[in-house]
Amino acid sequence: MNSSRFETDDDLMRLALGLAEQGRGSVEPNPMVGCVIVRDDQVIGQGYHQRFGGPHAEVHALRDAGDARGATAYVTLEPCCHHGKTPPCSDALIAAGISRVVVAMADPFERVDGGGLAQLQRAGIETRVGVLEQQARELNAPYLKRLKTGRPFTIAKWAMTVDGRIATSTGQSQWISNEASRADVHALRGRVDAIAVGMGTVMADDPMLTARPAGVRTATRVVFCANRLPTTRSRLIQSATEVPVLLIVSPRIGSSDVAELEQLGASVYRCTSSNLVQMIHQTLDFLGGQGMTNVMIEGGGKLMASFLTADAIDQYEVYIGAKVFGGHRALGPVAGEGFASVAEAAALRLVSLQRLGDNDVKLVYRNTPRGRFDAPDVSQ
């Protein structure tokens, strides 16, 4: 409960959006939602959707408020009006005697899609929709993409030097970033459904790809295997019974080749094409069908280039360490042929800039092409 005064609907919706953010990683594949209850210009209740399958934001806020008769509810997403894992939030708001509901955006989920607002209006509750809608869409871009395309939201992550290198000319890469940056990466790993790498990374680094310490989610380790497979001695395979490993294999790899790895606990998804770009498209469809909302791409350069070619990167999280490697043979984060002209290059939109530790910087960008999912343009 909070006794602070707020001047406008925007102020109160901004508070609700901040609450919603606290559910990141815990509520997917559901959306992040926050709710604030206000009466006589005073906040009397706050809540957010805390975990998948648990009470929704409106229920938490109503419980916090106690008596909410005649109050206004500020909700970042249209209240649900169907019985799922929890009862309808629209029913809860009506029963509580809420007199006005302000919503950031309608919920395009087919079992809601305007029905929650219509139910509130039939009950005589005043409604307003579209307050800070762009920010709400930005927050739930992964949820919106999965609803529209069936595919998860993809996050490309890398650490590089100030001059854009991910390793020295001799291949050394540890450590480009500082401890604060590496801790942030582990926190990101602990919020996503899957972490994808190529066989080049597996062969070079023998990674575990786990969050340390463990996060709210345990990501499936996804390995693209167009021409070769991890060995039985790799740390991924050795830990496959403890943390899921999914091998994405091309037609070039026979069933007998993966049999031993499956016996050691690895799962296999077989693509119909050996072209890495086509394998990516098929894999994203498959992962979406498995209920995954966020997938992190950790490299290496060949896989990153293939995701870029496939126009399959939604967000870039780039860590810049305070080092300069130099050298024309030192690797950059994205390999391949690259774009032939500046006009062809992927155009990005800066979302945030953060200082980590004394000298590192984290940049977060969103891809800008329209039509792939319902992403807002908040740069204006």
367 Rama class: left (phi>0) / alpha (psi -120 to 50) / beta = beta
Residue for token digits 């955006």? 105
- 274, two tokens: 């050996």
Residues in the chain: 380
How far is it, in rounded angstroms, from Cα 215 to Cα 304? 25
Pair 247, 255: CB distance under 8 Å? no
d(CA 242, CA 248): 19
**Residue whose entry in the numeric block shows the structure tokens 């970033």:** 177
Q: Which segments of 40-143 are extended strands (E)?
A: 42-48, 72-75, 100-103, 126-129
Listed residue (76, 102, 89, 78) closest to 20, CA to CA: 76
Q: Tell me the β-bridge partners of 353.
A: 363
Distance CA 292, CA 99 (A): 37
The residues facing 225 across adjacent strands are 249
Give the H/E segment covering residue 53: none
Partners of 157 in the beta sheet? 317
Over the Cα atoms of the chain, what is R_g?
Answer: 23
Give catalytic residues, as residue numbers.
58
